[in-house]
């Protein structure tokens, strides 16, 4: 199967001499939602900008739907919609005009039916005659998505689509993105909200200091790197973990009233049975217990920290 986006040996050094991308290799599968995670300045926007033809690569090759983004720029670009990180809209235009105009920029013939569908799908239809400056921030963001979809792209890049958007609207946006995927559009999004990646992505890529440090199925990532924690609520608080339990690397929490045991879900043995036996032998009684799977956020933080 041909990948919808294929990035090979891509590097970028800005004119300032700063190297923002180092030998990036990445393939995006047709129809997937791919989330690119990384701290501020990791190179996410740079990577997207190169794929969309806004920034020139220093080295490497990028194909969009099989078309080289440099030698076949128009063919490549026409397949791509981009919702940029920075909000930029023409304040005095109406929603309808600005979205229709975007389509024209790609040399596509007018298609009011398509524009209407996009505006309806994004719940902007009743605002079609409103000037952009009269819209709320969330509506403006949806206008940007409408513009990006105006020319019927197969690939949609969303650079921080929900930055500064409230929780409710964020959930609405997730619905919009999922619905788009249902129509066959491939979606690549960057986000700082790990929950967003956890909720939406089929695969996750992590970029740090210009290097892709990991690409993995989300479910696999959570299974492989995910650790579980067993928390025991003690009947009486401890001021230290007894020496005979040192091997379990227990942590005391909640002012000594909880013992936390971390274990690997992949391990052959979790060690829980032995732990409970040894706790009993040490005379430590507990009144309740819970287990918790580490979140993608914890996985991400520890991954990026390892690279520092």
Ligand X SMILES: Nc1ncnc2c1ncn2[C@@H]1O[C@H](COP(=O)(O)OP(=O)(O)OP(=O)(O)O)[C@@H](O)[C@H]1O
The distance of closest approach from Cβ of residue 157 to Mg ion in the complex, given in angstroms and rounded to an integer, is 11
Q: Which residues between 25 and 54 bind ligand X (CB under 6 A)?
A: 38, 40-46
Q: Does 208 bind ligand X (CB under 6 A)?
A: no
- Those residues with Cβ within 8 angstroms of residue 29's Cβ, 6 or more apart along the chain or in another chain: 1, 3, 4, 186, 202, 203
Where does this chain touch Mg ion (CB under 5 A) — which range of 78-86, 193-201, 230-238, 271-279? 78-86
b/e burial code for range 164-191 (CB count within 10 A of at least 16 → b): ebeeebbebbbebbeebbeeebbbbbbb
Q: Does 58 bind ligand X (CB under 6 A)?
A: no
Q: Does 162 bind Mg ion (CB under 5 A)?
A: no
Nearer to ligand X, 43 or 135 (CB): 43
Q: How far apart are CA 248 and CA 278, in angstroms?
A: 10
Q: Does 200 bind ligand X (CB under 6 A)?
A: no
DSSP 8-class letter at 110:
P
The distance of closest approach from Cβ of residue 227 to ligand X in the complex, given in angstroms and rounded to an integer, is 27
Nearer to ligand X, 135 or 173 (CB): 173
Nearer to ligand X, 1 or 15 (CB): 15
DSSP 8-class letter at 68:
E
- 220-225 contacts: CB < 8 A, separation 24 or more? 221/296, 221/299, 222/293, 222/296, 222/299, 223/265, 223/266, 224/266, 225/294, 225/299, 225/302, 225/303
Q: Shortest CA distance to 44 belongs to which of 17, 26, 59?
A: 26
Nearer to ligand X, 12 or 67 (CB): 12
Q: Does 208 bind Mg ion (CB under 5 A)?
A: no
Where does this chain touch ligand X (CB under 6 A) — which range of 14-22, 72-80, 213-221, 243-251? 14-22
Q: Are 57 and 12 in contact (CB under 8 A)?
A: yes
Q: Does 46 bind Mg ion (CB under 5 A)?
A: no
The distance of closest approach from Cβ of residue 308 to ligand X in the complex, given in angstroms and rounded to an integer, is 15
The distance of closest approach from Cβ of residue 134 to Mg ion in the complex, given in angstroms and rounded to an integer, is 28
Nearer to ligand X, 13 or 233 (CB): 13
Q: How far apart are CA 84 and CA 141, in angstroms?
A: 10
Q: Does 101 bind ligand X (CB under 6 A)?
A: no
Q: Are 149 and 158 in contact (CB under 8 A)?
A: no
Q: Does 45 bind Mg ion (CB under 5 A)?
A: yes
Which token pair is 29?
Answer: 């599968």
The distance of closest approach from Cβ of residue 40 to Mg ion in the complex, given in angstroms and rounded to an integer, is 8
Which residues sit at the interface with ligand X, rule CB under 6 A?
14, 16, 18, 20, 38, 40-46, 85
């Amino acid at each position: 199967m041909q990948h919808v986006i294929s990035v090979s040996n891509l590097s970028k050094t800005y004119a300032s001499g700063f190297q923002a991308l180092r030998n990036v290799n990445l393939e995006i599968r047709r129809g997937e939602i791919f989330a690119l995670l990384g701290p501020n300045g990791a190179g996410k926007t740079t990577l997207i900008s190169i794929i969309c033809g806004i920034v020139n690569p220093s080295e490497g090759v990028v194909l969009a739907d099989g078309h080289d983004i440099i030698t076949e720029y128009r063919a490549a670009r026409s397949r791509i919609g981009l919702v940029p990180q920075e909000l930029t809209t023409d304040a005095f235009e109406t929603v309808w005009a600005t979205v229709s105009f975007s389509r024209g920029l790609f040399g596509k013939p007018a298609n009011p039916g398509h524009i209407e569908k996009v505006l309806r799908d994004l719940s902007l239809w009743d605002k079609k005659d409103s000037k952009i400056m009269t819209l709320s921030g969330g509506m403006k963001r949806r206008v940007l998505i409408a513009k990006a979809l105006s020319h019927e792209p197969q690939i949609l890049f969303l650079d921080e689509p929900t930055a500064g958007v409230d929780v409710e609207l964020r959930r609405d946006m997730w619905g919009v993105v999922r619905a788009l995927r249902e129509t066959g559009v491939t979606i690549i999004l960057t986000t700082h909200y790990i929950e967003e990646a956890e909720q939406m992505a089929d695969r996750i890529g992590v970029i740090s200091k210009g290097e892709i440090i990991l690409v993995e199925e989300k479910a696999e990532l959570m299974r492989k790197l995910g650790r579980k924690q067993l928390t025991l609520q003690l009947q009486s608080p401890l001021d230290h973990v007894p020496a005979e339990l040192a091997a379990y690397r227990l942590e005391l929490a909640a002012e000594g009233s909880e013992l936390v045991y971390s274990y690997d879900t992949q391990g052959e043995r979790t060690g829980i049975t032995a732990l409970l036996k040894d706790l009993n032998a040490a005379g430590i009684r507990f009144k309740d217990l819970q287990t918790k799977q580490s979140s993608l956020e914890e996985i991400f933080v520890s991954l990026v920290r390892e690279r520092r």
